[in-house]
Amino acid sequence: MKKLKGALKESGIISKFLQLIGITIFFTTTGLIVWSVFTTGNSTDINSLKLLQLIQSMGIFVLPPLVVAFFWSEKPLDYLFLNSKTNWKNATFIVLLMIIFIPFINLLGDINQQFKLPDALSGLEIQMKAMELQAKQVSEKFMNVHNLQGLSFNILLIAFMPALGEELFFRGTIQRILGENRNVVSAIWIAAFVFSTIHLQFYGFVPRLLLGAFFGYLLVWGGNLWLPILAHFTNNFIAIIFYYLKHNGYKIPDLDTVGVGNSLWIGVLSGVLGIMGIFLLKNQTQQTKCYPTE
C-alpha cells in the first residue's frame, strides 16, 4: 500500500480528471448494484430512496476524492486540506454568516425563478420546471419526519453527507486540480459552476453558484476544507430544522419566504450585512495565493 500512495502524483490535469471520473463511475455503479440487491430496486419506498441517497453520497462524492488523493499524494489528507488546524473563532463566524445570509439567498432564488428562456426553448423550460417540482416533492418526502430519530437521520443524510461529500468532490478535488495551474480564481468559479450545474435545478442555479464560489473562497482563504464543509452543513441543517419544526406543530414562518415579497427589505439587509461579513472573514483568515503542487 505504501508503494501505491502517491504513485500517480505526476499525472497532469486531464489525466487526473479522467481518473476521477473513472473511479466515480466505478463506485456509482457498485453502489447501484448494492442498493438493487438490498431493496430489489424499489424506487417508490421512501426508506429505499433514502438508502439510495446515502449510497450515492458515499459512492459519488465521498469515496472517489479519498481514493484519488491517496494515489495523487503521499499525504492524502493534506492534499484534500483535511489536516489543517481549525480556527474556532473563524468557524463560529462562518456559522453566524450563513444564518445572516439566508434571506439574501432566498431573494437571489426568487430573482432566479423569474428568469425566462426564449420561446424557442419553451419545451425545455417546461421540462426543467417539471424536474424541479419532482425534486422538491422527493425532498419534502425525505424531510417529512415526526420524531427525533427521523430528524437525526435526516441531519446525517441531507445535511452532513452532502456537505462532506460535495465539498470533498468540488472544492477538495475539482477546485484543487484546477488550482494547480496557479489560476485559483478561475478554479473557484469553474468548480462552483459545475457544483451548481450538476444539481440540475436551473431555477436555483444563481444562489447555488454564488454559494459554491463562497465555499471555494473559504477554502483558499483558510487553507482548510472543514470551513466550507461547516458552511455547507449549516445551510442544509437550518433548512432541515425549520422544515421539521413547521411540520410538527410549531408556528414559525416558512424559511423560504424570509427575504422575499413583503420582507424584501430583510433580504436586501441580509445581503449587505453578509457581504460586509465576507470581507471581515477574508481579513481574519490566513490567505493562500495558490495551491501547492504537493
Do 40 and 141 reside in the same domain of the chain?
no
Q: What confidence tier does 213 reach under pLDDT thresholds 50, 70, 90? A: very high
Please count the structural domains in the chain: 2
Does some domain include residue 170? yes
Q: Which cell goes with 145?
A: 419526519
Q: What is the DSSP string of 84-146?
A: SPP-HHHHHHHHHHHHHHHHHHHHHHHHHTT----GGGHHHHHHHHHHHHHHHHHHHHHH---
Q: Would you say residue 90 lies in a domain?
A: yes
Which of 74, 94, 117 terminates a domain? The answer is 74
Whether residues 86 and 196 share a domain: the answer is yes
For residue 289, being part of any structural domain is answered with no
**Alpha-carbon distance values, 129 to 113, 124, 257 (Å):** 10, 9, 19
Among residues 29, 52, 74, the one where a domain terminates is: 74
173 assigned to some structural domain: yes
Shared domain check, 170 and 267: yes
> Quick check: 87 pLDDT over 80?
yes
Q: Are residues 111 and 219 in the same domain?
A: yes
Residue-range definition of the domain harbouring residue 26: 1-74
Question: Pick from 53, 74, 95: which residue ends a domain?
Answer: 74
Name residue, grid cell 490566513: 286
32: nearest Cα among 48, 46, 20: 48
Among 90-99, 179-188, 223-232, the minimum mean pLDDT is found in: 179-188
* Percent of the chain at pLDDT exceeding 90: 62
The 10s digit of each residue's pLDDT in 226-237 is 999 999 999 999
Same structural domain, 126 and 3: no
